[in-house]
Amino acid sequence: MPQTKMQTSQAFNINSAKPRLHPKGIMEFLWWSFGLLLFAHLISTYLLVEHGIYIKRFDFNHERNFPTFFATFQLAFAGILLWHSFKAATSKSFSVTWKLLSFVFLFLAFDEFFQIHDQLGARVSDVKIQTSSWVAPYMAGLAGLSVIGVPWFFNLPLKTRWAFFISGTIFVTGAAGVEIVGDILKTNFGFQHLYYRLAITVEESCEFIGLTLFIKALLDYYFSQKDELSLPWVDVDCRPPIETSKPGEAPL
């Protein structure tokens, strides 16, 4: 007997009382969040440069504020998606690499919140621009991870490889490249100068955009293998919403 839409909807929800989201809704949340934070940061930048008023809660370059919380969420969510992608992958040949990447992103989330890389930079005394001295050990770790991950990377679908490469390039450009330029500008012009503030805006925007694109790529990869992702607080379903019949109406 054919299954009605009412019956199908009940089958989808009978075992879960958690809210259900579509991947598109997650991406809209991420892009809108970034847009609002960028707008607030630009306002705070104008106030700092023109009037000397420093609003720390929205400054991309300050710790323990709204941008930091958002970046921490992005990194942690990417780590969780990497773990679920390992479980969804049809081939388990690269399970160690999936797990390692998951742990790396969860560590980066921890690092972002507690600013471990900044503390490392402050303790290195043999680097001329000390605030960027964390770049060397982190880039060395990235290089080692890249070597380990080469077979895993080329085993991915072509679309996923390109999405990972583009998002990773944008992120690293901001996290390492623009960071160094920003520190040079800070040394030469000072914390409040427009040049340094613009460099900070570009640097952090690259990181936010790179992470958002990476999460999009992970969601696309996961849902190419599975229809539904069950997280502790929400279920994510890539299937279109199912219309249910109203009381008194015949099933659709």
Cβ atoms 72, 108 nearer than 8 A: no
Q: Determine, yes or no, domain membership for 3.
A: no
Task: Encode burial over 34-48: b for 16+ CB neighbours within 10 A, e otherwise.
Answer: beebbebbeebbeeb
pLDDT of residue 169 exceeding 80, the answer is: yes
- What is the domain range of residue 161? 22-227
Does some domain include residue 115? yes
Domain count, the chain: 1
**% of residues, the chain, pLDDT over 90:** 51
Q: Is residue 251 part of a domain?
A: no
Is residue 247 one of the residues assigned to a domain? Answer: no
In a domain, 102, yes or no: yes
Q: Kind and range of the H or E element at 184?
A: helix 179-189
140, part of any domain: yes
pLDDT digits (tens, 9 = 90+) for 108-152: 999 888 877 555 554 554 444 444 556 667 777 777 787 888 999
pLDDT tens profile 69-103:
999 999 999 999 999 998 887 667 788 899 999 99
Residue 179 is predicted with a pLDDT of 80
In a domain, 110, yes or no: yes
Tokens representing residue 24 in the block: 């598109």
Predicted pLDDT of residue 110: 92
Whether 1 shows a pLDDT value over 80: the answer reads: no
Looking up tokens 């930079």 gives 121
Assigned domain for 106 exists: yes
Confidence of residue 235 (pLDDT cuts 50, 70, 90): confident
Instruction: Give the pLDDT score at 5.
Output: 37
